[in-house]
A and B are shown apart, each in its own frame.
Chain A
Amino acid sequence: MFALIDCNSFYASCEKIFRPDLKDRPVVILSNNDGCVIARSSEAKKMGVSMTQPWYQVKDQYLSKGGVVFSSNYEFYADISNRVMNVLSDLCPEIDIYSIDEAFLDLRSFKKNIDLISFAYDCKRIIKEWIGIPVSIGIAPTKTLAKLANKVAKDDPRFDGVVILSEPRAIKHFLKSMPVEKVWGIGKKLTIRLENIGVKTAYDLTQIDSRLIGDNFNVVLERTVRELKGQSCITLHDFMEPKKQIMVSRSFGRSIRSKNLLSEAISFHASRAAEKLRHEKQKCRLITTFIRSNRFNSKIRQIYASRSLELIHPTDDTRVIIKNANRILEQIFADGYQYAKAGILLSDFTDSYGYQMSLFDKKRDDKKATKLMETIDYINLMEIAKVGFGNQGYRNTWRMKREIKSQRYTTKIDEIPLIR
């Protein structure tokens, strides 16, 4: 059996830990730069605030109804997440951390006669009491089923946050009540294709001919079907596939017109992206730069410009990536627009160590470049002084604004909560 533990409204629940006055009040969290809503407490959901809604559209009504708002405080959320995962790994050492607020537990090493119901309620109670975070738990023979069970545990108040699926008959009944789009990994497009061939529920999906799936759909769906049938086939490593692209983008604090400022932002993002690339031990062949105006502001002229550039040989060199990202900017920049966001995407990866030099490549001093990149990453890691390239800019007027951020209650001694 597998358990999926998922923190309820994680960011909002974090914000409530040290604010008992917010216990039953609506709380929303905004994205970097306070652009849109990225998390809501259950009270805020009931008020009808939806995800990724631009903040300025809901702001007045939400605040007038007594809603509370925070900018995202990732330092704090990361620490709380770390605590939750640590407690979980004490309860069950076989843990796969799936995201900041979700983890799978592999319960197969448990004794056969263990009472899963009391185990689940113990997990739930301990995380709530020790850390202050409410969780939902789904337990089932496979990860895909556990994920489904978790969804029901979270959405249907009758279950009190815990759903355990073990009997084949109960699973069958459960799958019949489950629309196919709720299944892990089944997106909108796939749902439409499946509905066209008569598949409406998760149960229908388990009934289609496996050859039909093999011929018309991909292996991922085949695996999903097997998981729904109770055959476990998603392992830890499936989550650890190397990333296929790296995107770094931010909205600006206020919109900007100048090419120089845009170039500073692009260079900064390029250097962050290159750092991530090296962390993944990958090299990229394709660099994409994009710039855009604020699409929610109907009063201004809109622009979205993006272009990609293919390199002759893959790189993870910050200097090469910054140079090429800026070459693209030169091509796509147009005067007279108000730019609200810029970003860079690195893709078409090859393994750092496994790429072949083409015959006509200039012989490059790769070793030296690697050494330089390692040194830069090392210095930046130490957080004493950041080292960067000249065009990353000192002014940083475009840096994100996070205006209504809560304290870093658990990671900065000057920001711990006060008590009487």
Chain B
Amino acid sequence: MFANKNYKDPFSHKKLKHSGFPSPANDYIENPINMNDLLIKRASATFLMRFKGSEMILSGIKNNAILIIDRSLKPANGNIVVVSIDGEFLCRKILLGSKKILITDCPKNKMLDIDKIINFEFLGVVTSSINKY
């Protein structure tokens, strides 16, 4: 999806012709900021998912946020990750201490001890989320 050569970055502008004086900034032209470069490090391993719920609100993930997930990254302490538990995807914060624990931002949710879950699989690290207002 990201390797598409026909993809046109919305930040890019048309090259307009100058007829009068050449721009004094001509020698300093740089490419505009590219959102894909900013958000995606490894396109082949990056997938998008849509988050539903309010459990991760304190981490800045609102209902309907688009999560950008990099499957090539190993989880580090405090990362927000995507895992599958009993055949269902979940977005949680991971704490790696003497125990490996998954938590949400919602105190009423109980913590999950990864080693005690039988049907567990790690999918990837959430590198950013897009909330639309």
Residues of A in contact with B (beta carbons under 8 Å apart): 18-23, 79, 82-84, 86-87, 90, 126, 129-132, 409-411, 413, 416-420
Contacts and interface: CB of A to CB of B under 8 A. Distances in A.
Given A130-B71, A416-B50, A86 B43 contact: yes
Contacts, number: 72
B71 A132 contact: yes
Contact of A131 (B45, B49, B50, B91): B45
A402 B44 CA distance: 28
- Interface size of B as a range: 20 to 34
A372 B130 CA distance: 45
Given A131-B44, A410-B1, A420-B91, A20 B84 contact: yes
B49 A419 contact: yes
Interface stretch (B21-29, B31-39, B51-59): B51-59
Leading 7 A-B pairs by shortest Cβ distance: A21-B87, A20-B84, A130-B45, A83-B44, A419-B89, A86-B44, A419-B49
Contacts of A79: 1
A417 B91 CA distance: 12
Contact of A130 (B44, B48, B66): B44
B118 interface: no
B82 interface: yes
B52 A420 contact: yes
A18 B48 CA distance: 11
A268 B67 CA distance: 41
B44 A418 contact: no
A285 B7 CA distance: 38
B48 A413 contact: yes
A420 B47 contact: no
Contacts of A19: 87
A126 B73 CA distance: 11
